[in-house]
Amino acid sequence: MGPAALAVALGTEPFIDVVRRVAAQRTNALAVDELTYGELWGQTARVAGKLSARGVVAGDRVAIYSENRRGFVLAYLALQRLGAIAVPTNVLYRAADLGNILSDAKPRLVVGSAQTRPHVPADVPFVDAADVEAWATDASLSTEHDDARVEPNDIAVMIYTSGTTGRAKGALITHGNLAAIAAQLNEAWRWTSADTLLITLPLFHVHGLCAGLNGTLAAGAHALIRERFDVNEVAKLLQSGDVTMFFGVPTMYVRFIEKIPPQKFEHVRLFVSGSAALPADVHRAFEEKFGASILERYGSTEFGFALGNRYEGPRVVGSVGVPMPGVEVTIVVPKTTDRVAPGEVGELLVSGPNVCIGYWDRPEAMADAFADFDGRRWFRSGDSMRFDPVDGVYVVMGRLKELIISGGFNVYPLEVEAEMRLYPGVRDAALVGIHDAARGEIPVAFIEADAGFDSDAFVAAMRDRLASFKLPKAVRIVDALPRNAMGKVEKQRLKASEEKP
Ligand code: AMP
């Protein structure tokens, strides 16, 4: 599809209608693991029938609180056929974070698993994903279902943002958003029905769900879905010849470099990284060892995927490339609508058919999250970014909230972290702003270091490479930086560990 046709098609059709059409056209082709499109479509009809018998109706929220498995995929598609709203929920959530979702979304029921069931309060209606899988293959049930009529602007999915401060908000992702995001990635990454994607990312997050699963189904392609990332198993699968694409987070690529001997994955045409910054040294080491240049992209729960390195290249290391097809971005002075000069740092705003329509039950959050100007609605990403006019690419500088202002100077953690990682013996590094009476905040470094690491020599070396206000004023050696399920460093926890009385 050319850019003009794509722009017309983006977001104008509910995603489930795309899947219905692809299933009719590619009935005997593999869709998910060993299930064909025909089987997948027939089985989701059975699941839709059963969920409907349990009282699920259009507009209901249904939490999917399960690890990656067949039942997740079936329930997710069945809910769209019912016009109900799927609420994919992080399996690591426990009483407080799960409780927030249950009280906010008020789901009709929770589709969970043996792993998550113990964490669901007894008074919340529960369906086990194993039962969903049993319904799907129950030959006594019909493989036809009278689907609800859904419009592109109806809510299909609600994903709670992993926001590190304040109460998590449910981002409202429409049926049109899902279709737009899948079409954008299909176009950007030349995804076709000949592809097989290996998904080891959790399906409860946009990266696994909207990029991985939805991108596959919209392209009429094949996905192999695994419960978790096991680097040895993944390397074997990538070598098997079936897999053509792999999507990961930076920590997965670090595991590859550490654990897998040098080799070429001849059949894999695309490795993608996202959800957190891919350090330049990781990009280079992966390319050196495996002969593949990772394509880094930038996205979020609220807008899917806004930027990515060009498929044809060059892939500019340390940058997140250019806007996805049909996406507009601009950089403004934070909290304003004033554009910064080219090359200056500001907040990235994103506009396009991929951008969610708001947050569940939070009308007051709209004014901070969105801005209307230039005839468009823009989402305020909360990320500092810079457009590099020389290479013509965007560079992420970090979360605005994580910006450190020390003695009136801005310190962008990602810039300093990239520098620290280049120092011998530093395996990984995070820079956090800690309250300081004199300077407001001071940068403090948390380092995963090899044995015998000399912090003083490290700071001395940094002094030659960084402005004094960017220098870490203290260095803490840690065994491992705390990370969430997507491999993002949890800086709030580092801050709290430092600021506790
Ligand atoms: P989430 O909504 O949990 O997916 O988090 C979205 C946030 O992840 C973005 O706003 C960025 O701060 C961060 N992020 C995603 N992709 C990248 C990337 N390629 N480089 C740096 N940060 C990223």
CA Rg value for the chain: 23
In this structure, are strands 270-273 and 295-300 parallel, antiparallel, or unpaired? parallel
pLDDT at 439: 87
Q: What is the Cα–Cα distance from 112 to 128, expressed in whole angstroms?
A: 5
398 touches 413 (CB < 8 A): yes
For the segment 367-406, what is each residue's pLDDT rounded down to a tens digit? 999 999 999 999 999 999 999 999 999 999 999 989 999 9
Reply yes or no on whether the pLDDT at 17 is more than 50. yes
pLDDT at 3: 47
CATH 3.40.50.12780 fits 3-387, yes or no: yes
> pTM for this one?
0.93
Q: Could you tell me which residue, 170 or 407, shows the higher pLDDT? A: 170
Helix axes 129-136, 37-53, angle to 10 degrees: 120
| Encoded tokens for 80 | 């769209």
Reply yes or no on whether the pLDDT at 270 is more than 60. yes
Ligand 1 atom 4: the closest Cα is on which residue? 300
Q: Per-residue confidence at 6, pLDDT binned at 50, 70, 90?
A: low
Residue 401 Cβ contacting ligand 1 at under 6 Å: no
**Which of 251, 295, 396 has most ligand 1 atoms within 8 Å of its beta carbon, as the pocket-test mutant?**
396
Other Cβ atoms less than 10 A from the Cβ of 311: the count is 15
Q: What is the Cα–Cα distance from 333 to 326, expressed in whole angstroms?
A: 24
Residue 299 Cβ contacting ligand 1 at under 6 Å: yes
Residue 399 Cβ contacting ligand 1 at under 6 Å: yes
Q: CA-CA-CA-CA torsion for 402, 403, 406, 409, nearest 10 degrees?
A: 180
Answer positive or negative: Cα dihedral of 162, 405, 454, 257: positive
**Which of 211-215, 313-317, 486-490, 495-499 holds the top average pLDDT?**
211-215
pLDDT at 498: 87
Reply yes or no on whether the pLDDT at 435 is more than 70. yes
For the segment 72-96, what is each residue's pLDDT rounded down to a tens digit? 999 999 999 999 999 999 998 988 8
* Strand ranges across the sheet with 109-112: 126-128, 109-112, 61-64, 85-88, 155-160, 170-174
Q: Which fold is adopted by the domain 403-499?
A: GMP Synthetase; Chain A, domain 3 (3.30.300)
| Encoded tokens for 398 | 């970090």
Reply yes or no on whether the pLDDT at 179 is more than 70. yes
Burial zone of 485 (CB within 10 Å; 0-12 exposed, 13-18 middle, 19+ buried): middle
**Which of 159, 298, 359, 394 has most ligand 1 atoms within 8 Å of its beta carbon, as the pocket-test mutant?**
298
Residue 44 Cβ contacting ligand 1 at under 6 Å: no
pLDDT at 4: 43
Q: CA-CA-CA-CA torsion for 455, 457, 459, 462, nearest 10 degrees?
A: -140
**Which of 294, 300, 307, 359 has most ligand 1 atoms within 8 Å of its beta carbon, as the pocket-test mutant?**
300
For the segment 328-373, what is each residue's pLDDT rounded down to a tens digit? 999 999 999 999 999 999 999 999 999 999 999 999 888 999 999 9
Q: What is the Cα–Cα distance from 359 to 161, expressed in whole angstroms?
A: 10
Ligand 1 midpoint to CA 84 (Å):
28
Ligand 1 midpoint to CA 35 (Å):
32
pLDDT at 14: 97
Residue 319 Cβ contacting ligand 1 at under 6 Å: no
For the segment 189-236, what is each residue's pLDDT rounded down to a tens digit? 999 999 999 999 999 999 999 999 999 999 999 999 999 999 999 999
Q: What percent of the chain has pLDDT over 90?
A: 88
Q: Outline which parts of the chain fall under CATH 3.30.300.30.
A: 403-499
Q: What is the Cα–Cα distance from 409 to 454, expressed in whole angstroms?
A: 28
Ligand 1 midpoint to CA 221 (Å):
26
Q: Outline which parts of the chain fall under CATH 3.40.50.12780.
A: 3-387
Ligand 1: atom nearest CA of 161 is 2
